[in-house]
Amino acid sequence: MIQKFEKFYNRVIYWGNALQSPFLLAIRLFWGWQFFVTGKGKLTDIPRVIDFFTSIHIPFPLPNAYLAGSAECFGGLLLMGGLGARLASLPLIFTMVVAYLTAHRESVINIFSDPDTFLEQHPFLFLLASLIILFFGPGKFSIDALIKKMRSA
């Protein structure tokens, strides 16, 4: 019985490892595109973003609107290609944390008493995708992996 479980467990490990890079590629493509579209939307309508940032008391709304829009737009492109993906994820994570602390502050304050509200907020999946890329890297199907392979050859 133990041998059957061990064999099954080894197959789970094998397939988990085999599917890691396609999974990371899917995350990068989907969420990279979402970041790009969101950031591009901010950059093409800066007055709306400035008004929103002003309404939630973000200091220096003009430069922060450009900063957030640029981080999302260009960070999303870098995620999609897997170029400097871990580095690109840092400003995206920062932007999503700021979004939580400003626009969704109540959900952060009540994270333990009402976790569903925290999980339902717009930045959650963006933050999660960015954290996954930061911690696990972009995978084998990325420009980063290609550069690493070329440098080691």
Q: pLDDT by residue (tens digit) across 42-52?
A: 999 999 999 99
Q: Collapse the DSSP code of 99 into the 3-class scheme (helix H, G, I; strand E, B; otherwise coil) and give the result.
A: helix
Checking if the pLDDT of 73 tops 90, the result is yes
Name the phi and psi angles at 83, rounded to 5: -105, 115
Question: Over pLDDT 90: what percentage of the chain?
Answer: 99
pTM above 0.75, yes or no: yes
Question: Over pLDDT 70: what percentage of the chain?
Answer: 100
Arithmetic mean of pLDDT, 120-134: 97
Give dist(CA 54, CA 27) in Å, integer: 32
The alpha carbon torsion through 101, 80, 89, 86 (nearest 10 deg) reads 160
Arithmetic mean of pLDDT, 64-86: 98
Q: Which two tokens stand for residue 64?
A: 């922060």
Q: Which two tokens stand for residue 73?
A: 């737009």
Arithmetic mean of pLDDT, 90-118: 96
Residue 56: name the closest of 8, 116, 123, 10 by CA: 123
**Which of the four pLDDT bands, split at 50, 70 and 90, describes residue 153?**
confident
Arithmetic mean of pLDDT, 6-30: 97
